[in-house]
């Protein structure tokens, strides 16, 4: 016998409390109802202020990604350190893909001395700063505009990335979890990051210490699929041990060592 709305509501909110996200197909299967029923429930719960409906499901209100301008004001020093260390991995002649985010944009000021480097990006913010400070070739990927995150995504952007190949892909994580791996707040952004991984030889993930032990809405990849993880000095000790035991290369950005 199917649960009433109140019964489904409890299950959905319990799932949100544990996972910070709900996905329509999984919840429909668990509750033995149609996907359309779950979508209607999520609409109703959204209107009640219990969650925020997003493409493919719903998230807790505090799981929503802040706008790019707001993110740019958070953990500024740590992001600068991470960006500088990430840029040091770029070699002369490299073709690199740079994902959207307030962490990856921190690479741009430290790429000006690189020779024959090509930047491929779907981030309007990265493109604008690169036009001001980067002397090399810039390829901007077109697509549907995400105004809040100052980036483009969608099928057109994925198609364009599929025509290109890179040595390294750099993107920022919304969350890093042992169980859920690398995740992002936005399903379309996660798809772009996966496409970058497919088209690059190496994948380098940038994440400040606040991202560890956290799962955001859209799965990108398991931890084992990345080449390098770059974080700051606030990276929890237990995560340093865990990543070492899984043979995942972790680089810790340190301002004093980079001066």
pLDDT value, residue 70? 67
Q: Do 44 and 160 belong to one domain?
A: no
Its domain, for residue 153, covers 68-258
Closest to 225 in 3D by CA, of 252, 187, 251, 198 = 198
Last residue of a domain, one of 13, 34, 62: 62
Last residue of a domain, one of 40, 62, 84: 62
Q: Do 172 and 201 belong to one domain?
A: yes
pLDDT value, residue 246? 87
User: What is the separation of C-alpha 127 from the centre of its chain, rounded to a whole number of angstroms?
Assistant: 18
Closest to 124 in 3D by CA, of 103, 106, 97, 142 = 142
Q: Which domain CATH number covers 29?
A: 1.10.10.10
Q: Do 132 and 209 belong to one domain?
A: yes
Dump the DSSP string for the chain. -PPPHHHHHHHHHHHHHHHSEEEHHHHHHHHTS-HHHHHHHHHHHHHTTS-EEETTEEE-GGGSPPPHHHHTTSSHHHHHHHHHHHHHTPPTT-EEEE-SSTTGGGGGGG-TT-SS-EEEESBHHHHHHHHHH--SEEEEPP-EEETTTTEEESHHHHHHHTT--EEEEEEE-SEEETTTEEEES-HHHHHHHHHHHHHEEEEEEE--GGGBT---SEEEE-GGG-SEEEEETTS-HHHHHHHHHTT-EEEEE-HHHH-
pLDDT value, residue 160? 97
Last residue of a domain, one of 21, 37, 62: 62
Q: Do 124 and 152 belong to one domain?
A: yes
Q: Do 170 and 152 belong to one domain?
A: yes
Q: Do 119 and 174 belong to one domain?
A: yes
Q: Do 186 and 242 belong to one domain?
A: yes
Q: Do 152 and 102 belong to one domain?
A: yes
Per-residue pLDDT tens listing for the chain (259 residues): 568 888 899 899 888 877 778 899 999 999 999 999 999 999 998 887 778 788 888 887 555 666 767 666 676 889 999 999 999 999 999 999 999 988 999 999 999 999 999 999 999 999 999 999 999 999 999 999 988 889 999 999 999 999 999 999 999 999 998 888 999 988 899 999 999 999 999 999 999 998 998 888 889 999 999 999 999 999 989 899 989 988 899 999 985 544 3
* Cβ 183 vs Cβ 211: under 8 Å: no
Q: Which domain CATH number covers 120?
A: 3.40.50.1360
pTM, full prediction: 0.76
The number of distinct structural domains making up the chain is 2
Q: Do 171 and 139 belong to one domain?
A: yes
pLDDT value, residue 259? 38
Q: Do 86 and 35 belong to one domain?
A: no
pLDDT value, residue 220? 95
Q: Do 151 and 53 belong to one domain?
A: no
Q: Do 31 and 92 belong to one domain?
A: no
Which letter, b or e, does each residue of 45-76 get, where b requires 16 or more Cβ atoms within 10 Å of its Cβ?
A: beeeebbbbbeebbbbeebebeebeebbeebe
């Amino acid at each position: 016998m199917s649960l009433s709305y109140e019964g489904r509501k409890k299950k959905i909110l319990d799932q949100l409390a544990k996972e910070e996200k709900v996905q329509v197909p999984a919840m429909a299967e668990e509750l033995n109802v149609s996907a359309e029923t779950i979508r209607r429930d999520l609409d109703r719960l959204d209107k009640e202020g219990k969650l925020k409906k997003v493409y493919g499901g719903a998230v807790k209100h505090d799981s929503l990604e802040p706008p790019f301008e707001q993110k740019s004001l958070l953990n500024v020093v740590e992001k600068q350190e991470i960006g500088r260390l990430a840029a040091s991995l770029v070699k002369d002649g490299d073709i690199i893909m740079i994902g959207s985010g307030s962490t990856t944009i921190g690479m741009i000021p430290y790429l000006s001395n690189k020779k024959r480097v090509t930047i491929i990006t779907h981030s309007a913010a990265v493109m604008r700063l690169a036009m001001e400070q980067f002397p090399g070739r810039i390829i901007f990927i077109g697509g549907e505009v995400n105004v809040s995150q100052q980036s483009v995504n969608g099928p057109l952007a994925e198609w364009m990335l599929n025509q290109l190949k890179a040595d390294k892909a750099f993107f920022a994580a919304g969350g890093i979890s042992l169980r859920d791996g690398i995740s992002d707040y936005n399903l379309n952004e996660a798809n772009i990051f996966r496409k970058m991984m497919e088209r690059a030889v190496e994948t380098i993930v940038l994440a400040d210490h606040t991202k560890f032990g956290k799962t955001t809405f859209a799965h990108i990849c398991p931890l084992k699929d990345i080449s390098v993880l770059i974080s700051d000095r606030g990276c929890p000790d237990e995560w340093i041990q865990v990543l070492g035991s899984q043979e995942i290369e972790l680089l810790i950005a340190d301002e004093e060592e980079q001066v």
